[in-house]
Amino acid sequence: MDDFYDRFADLRRRGVPIVLVTAVAKEGAGPVDVGKKMAVTLTRGSFGTVGGGAIEHYAIKKACELLKTRGNLLESYYLKEGEVAIDAKSLPMACGGKVTLFYEYSGPKEHVFLFGAGHVALALSRVLKTLDFFIEVIDDRKEVLDGFLYADAKHNVPFVDFVSQGHIGQDAMIVVATPSHKDDYHVLNKIIELKIEPKYFGMLCSPEKLKDYLQKTKDIHPGPIDLSHFYSPIGLDTGGNTPEEIAISIASEMLAIANDKKGHRHMREVHYGQDPYWKN
């Protein structure tokens, strides 16, 4: 069991979302013992056990569903195929007992990739760390990255190379604020090229420069492109030009997206209307 908790703690340190499945009650016969645990991830499989067989197969499937919603669940099962009851699901087993499993999500609220370790990114990370966001910062300037205080992981690599290495999951949040407009543009296009679909993709950019980016992007990618998750100019319309004020604006927008809240005045809509950018 010590090895189980060591592996669990290691994944938590890495910011990997986990659902911990625990057998909390048992009546009658069955391969499950109260207290048995299993950890399930979407990318690194599962370890531990809650008894094997059909119940473990079902528990892994249910845990994967909960990883996507970041939810918890208490659910009971009859270990007998064809058993009908209001208070429990029937599983294809012959034991005949009843087992209750508790599914507990354990992980960050959101996983954020910050491209650029400058003043705005530093101010933003300071806010996001209070919200249980797991933060990875990427910058090719080692001296700047070394002084970045509020990151769970730092990557001293070229920006586009990091995207190409496949570290960004489809449900991630991305903020691009590199010191170079050229790097911003290349990160945007690499994400489109690799068909990464983040939950949120914000880019620190002026409306004038963005128009040029979007036209160039359209020329490179002539097919349909979904930019519904792309937010630039970045942030909610809160006002203020200091790094701290911009960080509050961006963090507020990220929270609105993470919590599926509508009706806010996004900066992209201030400049591009309710139907932002262009459609192919």
Domains, the chain, with CATH or none:
2-106 (no CATH), 110-272 (3.40.50.720)
Q: What average pLDDT does the structure give for the chain? A: 88
CB of 110 closer than 8 Å to CB of 134: yes
- The pLDDT score that the predictor gives to residue 144 is 94
Instruction: Write the pLDDT tens digit of every residue in 135-179.
Output: 999 999 999 999 999 999 999 999 999 999 988 987 899 999 999
CB of 108 closer than 8 Å to CB of 38: no
- The pLDDT score that the predictor gives to residue 44 is 79
Q: How far is residue 241's CA from residue 247's CA, in Å, rounded to a whole number?
A: 10
Which segments of the chain does DSSP mark as H helices, in order? 2-13, 53-69, 119-128, 142-146, 159-164, 181-193, 207-220, 243-258, 267-272
**Does pLDDT of 91 surpass 80?**
no
**Could you tell me which residues come within 8 angstroms of residue 170 by beta carbon, excluding any fewer than 6 positions away?**
196, 197, 198
pTM for the complete prediction? 0.81
55-69 mean pLDDT: 91
Q: How far is residue 221's CA from residue 225's CA, in Å, rounded to a whole number?
A: 8
- The pLDDT score that the predictor gives to residue 81 is 63
225-247 mean pLDDT: 93
- The pLDDT score that the predictor gives to residue 280 is 41
116-126 mean pLDDT: 96
Torsion of CA 52, 58, 60, 64, to 10 degrees: 180
Instruction: Return the bridge partners of 106, or none.
Output: 18
60-73 mean pLDDT: 91
More confident of the two residues 213 and 278? 213
**Does pLDDT of 1 surpass 70?**
no
- The pLDDT score that the predictor gives to residue 93 is 66
pLDDT band for position 221 (cuts 50, 70, 90): confident
pLDDT band for position 276 (cuts 50, 70, 90): low
189-212 mean pLDDT: 90
